[in-house]
Amino acid sequence: MRKKLRRKQVLEFFAKLEPTKIGMEACGGAHYWARELRALGHEVVLLPPQYVKPYVKRNKNDSADAEAICEAMSRPTMRFVLVKTANQQAALMLVGTRDALVRRRTQLTNMIRGYAAEFGLTAAKGLAKIEPLLARIEEDANLPDLAKKLFAVHAKEYARLQVEIEKLEVELMAWHKHNELSRRLVEIPGIGPIGAILTVMKIPNPQAFRCGRDFSAWLGLTPKDHSTAGKTRLGVITRAGDGALRSVLVAGATAVINHVRHGKGRPSPWLLALVRRKPPKLAAIALANKNARVAWKLMVSGERYNAVRYNPACSQAGAVSEGRVAALRDGSAPRPSLTSRSTSQGQATAMTNA
């Protein structure tokens, strides 16, 4: 049957059908429709668009796409997207809104620095230098009145963004504190609260992955395979899957690598050897890959992170104090602001994507 439906006709049409299997591409609004159709008793599966594309025979239109979806969903080895609940999507919206405000703040600070440089006013790197720069601009008698007015507009916008970001970070930390899995994941070196929160929000069903290697491959942290004729040819990482979660894991791993290169912390023999023989960026990718596998193991097993198991050096040095670990699990350990750029290890991993 080929029937074109308007948006308001979808639920009315499917309400009259017997329970059946429905396939849709995992695009904007797909999770909402999946929840609504499931409420009517239907079985709904969401397919990644990149898995549907190979089944489009020729040309791009709605009819060809629908036929490709029907063909793709019938494949026995097809992998589907888990339907998210309304609460899960609201939590993801919290993270996405904060990311958008952080990007807007970065754009605004770059604009302030650029305009100020045109009048001979510069400042060192870091968000902490923006407010002193705005104060110097306000006190500079040589600036034209029009320029001062415009800088004042930017200063108000910057102050508003700071307040909004701080409010959202309080919400995120409260979510982290009340989620037991997020508190367990944050114990992994290189995964801070944001990384743990994103992992929990974006992976509601870790059992869907057969092993930790499949999870890291889904994140795009494994090499691209272009082997043929029995010859193994591996390239750069695939960068498939969720880019936001991958970038957070890589940023956290980069912070750990920087500490190791400066002789700080108690790195494992594996990490020390890796840093010696590989460039920092490659070492960060390898560590992010390992952290993703460890995180998957903790999610599916319900275990806590065992520092001695993954880092034998901790057994010789005493590892981390029990009080600190307990406080970190409960979300009550003193942490700097998520927007801090301090070079200390706790601050470097507290926020991995600011």
Q: Which of 39, 44, 64 is nearest to 54 (CA)?
A: 64
Question: Is 118 a member of any domain?
Answer: yes
Residue with tokens 């549907």: 52
- What pLDDT was estimated at residue 313? 66
Q: Are residues 343 and 196 in the same domain?
A: yes
* 47 strand-pairing partners: 25
User: Do residues 207 and 300 touch, judged by C-beta distance below 8 A?
Assistant: yes
Which residue has tokens 């499949």? 214
pLDDT (tens place) for every residue of the chain, 354 residues total: 678 899 999 999 999 999 999 999 999 999 999 999 999 999 999 999 999 999 998 888 999 999 999 999 999 999 999 999 999 999 999 999 999 999 999 999 999 999 999 999 999 999 999 999 999 999 999 999 999 999 999 999 999 999 999 999 999 999 999 999 999 999 999 999 999 999 999 998 999 899 999 999 999 999 999 898 889 898 899 998 889 999 999 999 999 999 999 998 888 999 999 999 999 999 999 999 999 999 999 999 999 998 888 776 666 555 444 454 454 445 555 544 444 433 444 444 434 444
Q: How far apart are CA 166 and CA 152, in angstroms?
A: 21
Of 150, 175, 200, the domain-final residue = 175
The verdict on 308 and 341 lying in the same domain is yes
Tell me, yes or no, whether 80 lies in a domain: no
Which pLDDT score, from 0 to 100, does residue 311 have?
A: 75
Please tell me whether residues 223 and 336 are part of one structural domain. Answer: yes
Check whether residue 257 and residue 321 sit in a common domain. Answer: yes
pLDDT at site 354: 42
Name the residue range of residue 46's domain.
Answer: 7-73
Using alpha carbons, list the distances in angstroms from residue 11 to 39, 42, 83.
Answer: 10, 11, 18
**202 in a domain, yes or no?**
yes
Q: What is the pLDDT of residue 2?
A: 79
Same domain, 169 and 184: no
As a whole number of angstroms, the distance between CA 163 and CA 245 comes to 25
Domain limit, last residue, from 116, 142, 175: 175
**pLDDT of the residue at 336:** 46
Do 60 and 131 fall into the same domain?
no
Domains held by the chain: number: 3
- Examine the domain organization and report whether 196 and 332 are in the same domain: yes
φ, ψ (nearest 5 deg) of residue 217: -65, -40
Please check whether residue 1 lies inside any domain of the structure.
no
Query: Which pLDDT value is given to residue 345?
Result: 42
Please give the Cα distance from 243 to 97 (Å, whole number): 16
| 2 is a domain residue | no
Q: Are residues 94 and 170 in the same domain?
A: yes
> Residue 81 falls within a domain, yes or no?
no
Task: Verify that 171 and 186 share a domain, yes or no.
Answer: no
Within a domain: 339? yes
Whether 69 and 103 share a structural domain: no
Lookup: tokens for 4: 């074109």
Please state, in angstroms and as integers, the Cα–Cα distance from residue 98 to each residue in 103, 154, 198, following that order: 9, 19, 12
Considering the domain boundaries, does residue 303 fall inside one?
yes
Place of tokens 């996405």: 96
Structural domain ending residue among the three candidates 175, 193, 214 = 175
305 and 200 within one domain: yes
Identify whether residues 153 and 92 lie together within a single domain: yes
State the pTM of this model: 0.80
Closest C-alpha among 6, 12, 68, 350 to residue 190 = 350
